[in-house]
Structure 1
């Protein structure tokens, strides 16, 4: 019986050492991945990378990670020719297949989201247009203010996903001020404030799913399959 207890102790100790080595390895990998992402994207702070699943070392040996979670602030998003910053960016990647040289990966599926503040949305809007919270309970509206024909104009614009395939958002004016419609200038105003920004440079396979507005800005959601990541 003593012999079996010795074997049990050895197995437990070896198991503990493997777990410790595995946790050290995953910690190093997460740190390196975060540092590389920060340098590649020019982020002001290091993103948080969490590699889920156990054991990590066997996942690496098979070149496939079960689940990788990423969160960061200050991620650049190109829109309508302007580069805006998104905050509270987060992404969950599942069944991530690594390339042989570990310089690229493909996630079987992925979900994520981010918040683009109204100040950042203003940068993507037509020149002279300011984007703010709608001042209503609606979650699909923004308020646009501008000077039009020498007059201060404030209108509500409905925001929606126009085309998920091209990651295009549509903003279309809802109610035309009476002083504008009375002068027959509705078409001129609409042609100025209606715009469809495109969120560019998303990883291949990842597409815009929804956009909702709140007090802080527009929350965008992404989803995709076969998402290709190149580092």
Structure 2
């Protein structure tokens, strides 16, 4: 986005843009004259098939400066190709896409099933929702997101993938696509956070500031156990 000095305002604008790309109105399954009345409920219904897996991530393209936008054109094929690769390579933005990552061949284990000590490559999904906004939205081909190799073995792609559409453009983009994913995207950062928190807890850092308000050490231990179970569950996707 060519931002020289990133401010909290810039960060908030990116967050607002991503949330807006998801929660702005879209058509319901009833047709192109009815908008969704409960998008958050629909989101949970489509993406959280099991109570043990409730972590969702958002990716959105395109996202660029207004100066760059004036010289850019977009096609649904190009946007969706990039968005799919962002998903499977766990890239947060287009600039971070690793084009070498490919879905595993049928019957072979993914890197996502291996130890956290090894680098994650392929990002296994439980469920994905693609939200398309803009011109010629009904011509977009979404077959690549229905590939069984993208998903855990215990959920069929017909149940794991959903799409919402509207021909109304979002922001200043003639065409835009958002992806809300329940996948292994969080495993590495969450494991890092838990590891640092464990080290602080073991050294009793700041514990007294919590205990004087009634929070016990057992509460911390319960929280660590809960988060470690979340990490383990997502690591084991596909078994």
Identify the structure with the greater helix proportion. 2
Query: Shared topology, TM-score over 0.5?
Result: no
Q: Which has the larger radius of gyration?
A: 1
Higher relative contact order (CA 8 A, sep 6+): 2
Taking structure 1 as the reference length, the TM-score comes to 0.24
In proportion to residue count, which structure has more strand?
Answer: 1
